Structure formats: structure tokens, C-alpha cells
Amino acid sequence: MKTLGLLGGMSWESSAEYYRLINTMVREQAGGFHSAELVLVSIDFATFEPLLAAGRWDAVAQRLIQAAQDAVRAGAEAILICTNTGHKVADEVAGAIDVPVVNVVDVVAEAVLARGFDTVGLLGTRFTMTESFFPDRLSRYGIRTIVPSPDEQVDVNRVIFDELVLGVFRDDSRSALASLTQALAARGAQGVVLGCTELELLLRAHDTEVPLFPTARLHAAAAVQVALAP
């Protein structure tokens, strides 16, 4: 079994879900008492979030590169950046280490195509919804992306940073996000990507009739395939 390196803490709420998902999937697939071989490098989100807010992507890249290099030195044979927003600099991280980075956007694209879809809505942090890295990479697979309106983006970003990363889960926020998935479907989305790893802690498949693509779960599943590959 290969050792996976998790770059976590962004936020730790979703990093804990990555840990749970990966270990659960390894046990299900490998059987017995198996669990995952993991290295976790957890970043203090209070030092990371201001870099995002200021758009200091060079500093974001350097922080994630440092974390990835620490994980590789500890034995990681593949890296997961446990945040969608951080994938804006995933190529820079991949270029600084000699083990693969499992890119969440590629994983999502494969899941979307497997459903036969070519148009999806995208929910995430303000950075993920306004920056082009996610839609541009999806477009390489022939997938078109629809994002919420500016006002809707403010609401989603507030739920993420004022509630979810702090471990607060509100029923009214769940209902609002479910309604937004319906609105995106009305604009042409065949499914909606939960492009923030915290969102799937709140919004589940049974909360909306619109097909959802939970990025942390998909990312974890792809990483387990890497770990268990011969």
C-alpha cells in the first residue's frame, strides 16, 4: 500500500472527513483490519486564510509547497491538497516535488463525464467561484461551468467562512444551498459540484433533486485507488 500525504487544516473540519473517508474506503476495499498509510501535514488556517483574502497566490503556493515537501520527506508517495481553493496552485506544488499530486478537478471531471454530463454548476469559496482555475481545467474535458451570481456567491462564501469552517451547521443554510442548486439547474446545470470540501458536510444528496458531486469524497476515493494500486 502506498502512503498518501494529506495537506490539511484548510479547514480541519474537512480534513477530518478526508481521514475518515480514506480509512473507511481502504477497509472496505482491502478488508480485514486494513487502514490507510497516511502522512498529515496540517496548516494553521488562521495563517493561511489571510493569504487567500489578499490574493497572495505566490505565498499560498509556497506554503503548500513547503507542506508537500514535508509530507514527501515523511514518506508520502502521492499528495492530496485537501482544499479546492488551493488547487489554483496545484501545478506549482506538483512541479516542486517528485511524487504525483492527485488533482481534485481532474477527479471531478471524470465523475461528471461518467454521468454523461457536460454542464455543471459550481459552488465553493469566493475564490473558487471567481477564479478561472476550476472552470478552465474542466473545460479541457469538454465540461462547461455555471457559477452563481455575485450576490449568490457572497451568500455561499459567508456560509463557508462564518459557519462551516467553524463547525457550525445550520438548517436554514442547508435549505438555501439546496435552493441554489435548483437555481443553477434551471440555468442549465445538469449537476452541481460542491467545490469546497466543507460544503458536503452540510449539503447531502437527499437535500436536493439535483445530482451533486462532493469533491472531498470523490478526491478521497481517487486517492484510495492510487494507494491500493499494484
For 54-110, the DSSP string reads TT-HHHHHHHHHHHHHHHHHTT-SEEEES-SGGGGGHHHHHHTSSS-B--HHHHHHH
- Select which of 82, 83, 145, 208 is catalytic: 83
Nearest CA among 123, 85, 121 for reference residue 104: 85
* Angle, helices 104-114/215-228, rounded to nearest 10 degrees: 100
All three cell numbers of 10, joined, read 484548510
Choice among 145, 196, 197, 215 that is catalytic: 196
User: Helix, strand or coil for residue 142?
Assistant: coil
d(CA 209, CA 136): 27
Residues 6+ apart with CB under 8 A from 110: 141, 222
Q: Is 82 a catalytic residue?
A: no
Catalytic residue check, 83:
yes
Catalytic sites, residue numbers: 83, 196
